[in-house]
């Protein structure tokens, strides 16, 4: 039409031109888009939140992957709540709660301060299932606890394999009593006594020597022959009779406790008791005994230690069962 001047086709605006560029001459090449991101000023440094030291999750150690603590909140701001159920936990031994250490006493042998403030202790023998399966006699171990279930002592037998399995319940043994620091505060020794002679012969009488501290004898526990019941005498370091222990007519009662009465030297006044608790099938198998020992709170601490030692001689003589060997 006249008066109309042909113009060039409209050029894309700068915005469209900046967005679409095709440097690649191939027709199927995708267009190249320029980013509109404009970097802003640098922000303030932000430290990791509590529980993320050095940017790692709390409880995570690259050197010890098994030490990762499960079920731990990652932040105090947003705690994580877990549904009830069992969650995997690291394999670590159960903590032992020990009785608080008492103060040192001038008139008390070292290590017996615990007994000074107790009138009742529990002797718990460890259960050894491997001993039942293999019939191989192992060293006995005991936990000594108070009424609050706090550990007082640990008693371990120290006897070689040949002696244990050759002499079984008649074996001579050494029992070592340790405190919470692992120090040996008491030693109990039982010498070997031949039982093939007459029962009333003095050479066949069982004996237990108690040393506290180790190397210093504080008394003996002597076995006396009796037709009907177990009878013991508790002696001081000079082998003078101080107390006596009288057991029941039958120490193998099924379904009931076995009570050994601790009496004064006159045999009338009752001082305390050593009770072997009946624990059902475990007691019947005779591989994990439980004793309760009672004595007056104001009793001489050395006599408390002697009654404590008499418990182990009673255990070995009457309640320590030898594994039955199969006959062929």
Give pLDDT tens digits for 204-226.
788 999 999 999 999 999 999 88
Residue 59 has pLDDT above 50, yes or no: no
Contact 81, 106 (CB under 8 A): no
Provide the pairing of β-strand 270-276 with 241-246: unpaired
Cα 37 from chain centroid? 64
Q: Is 246 exposed, middle or buried (0-12, 13-18, 19+ CB in 10 A)?
A: middle
Determine whether domain 112-319 maps to CATH 3.20.90: yes
Per the model's pLDDT, the better-predicted residue between 191 and 57 turns out to be: 191
**pTM more than 0.75:** no
**Element spanning 282, H or E:** helix 281-285
Residue 6 has pLDDT above 60, yes or no: no
pLDDT value of residue 274: 96
pLDDT value of residue 129: 75
**Distance set, CA 69 to CA 52, 58, 86, 96, 121 (Å):** 13, 8, 14, 21, 37
Average of per-residue pLDDT across 83-88: 52
Torsion angle (degrees, nearest 10) of CA 157, 159, 164, 169: -50
| Among 25-29, 101-105, 290-294, the range of highest mean pLDDT | 290-294
| Among 17-21, 28-32, 237-241, the range of highest mean pLDDT | 237-241
Q: How far apart are CA 117 and CA 161, in angstroms?
A: 37
pLDDT value of residue 142: 95
Q: Which residue has the tokens 């939140």?
A: 49
């Amino acid at each position: 039409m006249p008066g109309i001047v042909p113009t060039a086709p409209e050029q894309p605006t700068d915005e469209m031109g900046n967005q679409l560029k095709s440097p690649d001459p191939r027709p199927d090449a995708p267009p190249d888009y320029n980013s509109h991101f404009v970097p802003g000023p640098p922000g303030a440094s932000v430290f990791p939140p509590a529980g993320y030291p050095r940017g790692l999750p709390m409880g995570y150690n690259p050197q010890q992957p098994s030490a990762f603590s499960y079920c731990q909140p990652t932040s105090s701001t947003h705690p994580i709540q877990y549904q009830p159920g069992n969650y995997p936990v690291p394999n670590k031994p159960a903590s032992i709660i020990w009785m608080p250490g008492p103060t040192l006493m001038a008139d008390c042998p070292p290590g017996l301060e615990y007994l000074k403030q107790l009138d009742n202790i529990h002797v718990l023998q460890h259960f050894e299932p491997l001993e039942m399966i293999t019939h191989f006699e192992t060293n006995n171990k005991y936990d000594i606890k108070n009424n609050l279930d706090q550990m007082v002592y640990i008693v371990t037998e120290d006897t070689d394999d040949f002696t244990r399995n050759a002499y079984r319940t008649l074996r001579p043994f050494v029992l070592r009593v340790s405190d919470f620091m692992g120090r040996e505060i008491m030693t109990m020794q039982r010498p070997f006594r031949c039982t093939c002679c007459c029962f009333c012969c003095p050479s066949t009488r069982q004996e237990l020597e108690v040393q506290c501290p180790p190397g210093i004898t504080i008394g003996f526990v002597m076995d006396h022959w009796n037709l009907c019941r177990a009878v013991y005498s508790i002696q001081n370091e000079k082998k003078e009779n101080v107390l006596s222990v009288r057991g029941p007519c039958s120490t193998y009662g099924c379904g009931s406790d076995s009570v050994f009465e601790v009496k004064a030297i006159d045999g009338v006044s009752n001082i305390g008791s050593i009770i072997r608790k009946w624990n059902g099938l475990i007691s019947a198998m005779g591989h994990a005994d439980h004793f309760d020992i009672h004595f007056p709170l104001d009793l001489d601490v050395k006599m408390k230690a002697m009654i404590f030692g008499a418990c182990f001689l009673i255990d070995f003589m009457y309640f320590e069962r030898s594994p039955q060997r199969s006959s062929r």
